[in-house]
Amino acid sequence: MAFIIAVAQQKGGAGKSTLAANLAVALLAGGKRVALLDTDPQQSLARWHALRPATAAELVFESSSGWRLTGAIDRLRKSMDYIVLDTPPHADTDSRIAIRASDLVLIPLQPSLPDLWASEATVKLAEDEKREHRLVLNRLPASGRLRDVVMEELARRKAPLLKQSLGNRSAFAAAFALGLGVTESAPRSAAADEVRALASSLIKPKGQ
């Protein structure tokens, strides 16, 4: 049975699609069977996948929404090791369906207070659906006062923050423009190391 990861965040521009694409590609390592589902009406991942070279590792991809999303998840659940869901940037029905179906909800969070405030609706949705969830710091600068303020606020809230984070690196945008994950386009980069560390932290134990 597949381990299902929903990437969700109410605020647009938080890096959901970039995180979902890179995570799915990184999970392909070791011959894992991975499906990536785009449920966002903007269809950013559909455009990304259309650019994907024929020589790239095989990634099952579908664009689904509404009742079709539930059917796609049920169909792929038995044949995949992982299913990664990119959700709409709103706390709407499709987001709820994706979160309800997931084993883990990842909430990308840029280091700003508006992003943190916007994440509250997604956290509540995950809590309402009784789903495990983690915040993932994205586009994180190496240092700075804003970073410190957000980290202090997360600590104060005792937020479920994933230890692994993604830096503010141009390699992510460059890879996305080629239909690739950063682990494919720049495998020896710091960005690739970050994605591999994040993916490794989510690997399901054998037998699950």
Residue 31: CA count within 13 A, CB half-sphere: 0
Whether 207 shows a pLDDT value over 70: the answer reads no
| Residue 185, domain member (yes or no) | yes
| Residue 156, domain member (yes or no) | yes
DSSP string of 53-79, one letter each residue: -TTSPP-EEEE--HHHHHHHHHHHHTT
CA-to-CA separations, 198 to 22, 90, 165, 167, in angstroms, rounded: 10, 24, 7, 12
By residue range, what is the domain housing residue 173? 3-198
Q: Residue 9: which of 125, 112, 147 has the closest Cα? A: 125
Q: How confident is the model at residue 204 (pLDDT cuts 50, 70, 90)?
A: low
Domain count, the chain: 1
| Residue 100, domain member (yes or no) | yes
| CATH code for position 21 | 3.40.50.300
Question: E strand or H helix at 114, and its extent?
Answer: helix 113-128
| Residue 203, domain member (yes or no) | no
Residue 85: both structure tokens together: 């869901």
Per-residue pLDDT reduced to its tens digit, 95-134 = 888 999 999 999 999 888 888 888 999 999 999 999 999 9
| Residue 51, domain member (yes or no) | yes
Q: Can you give the pLDDT at residue 206? A: 46
Average pLDDT, the chain: 90
| Residue 206, domain member (yes or no) | no
Reduce the DSSP state of residue 100 to 3 states and report it. Answer: helix
CA gap 143, 27 in Å, rounded: 29
| Residue 205, domain member (yes or no) | no
CA gap 30, 188 in Å, rounded: 17
pTM summary value: 0.92
Dihedral angle sign, alpha carbons of residues 202, 22, 189, 168: negative
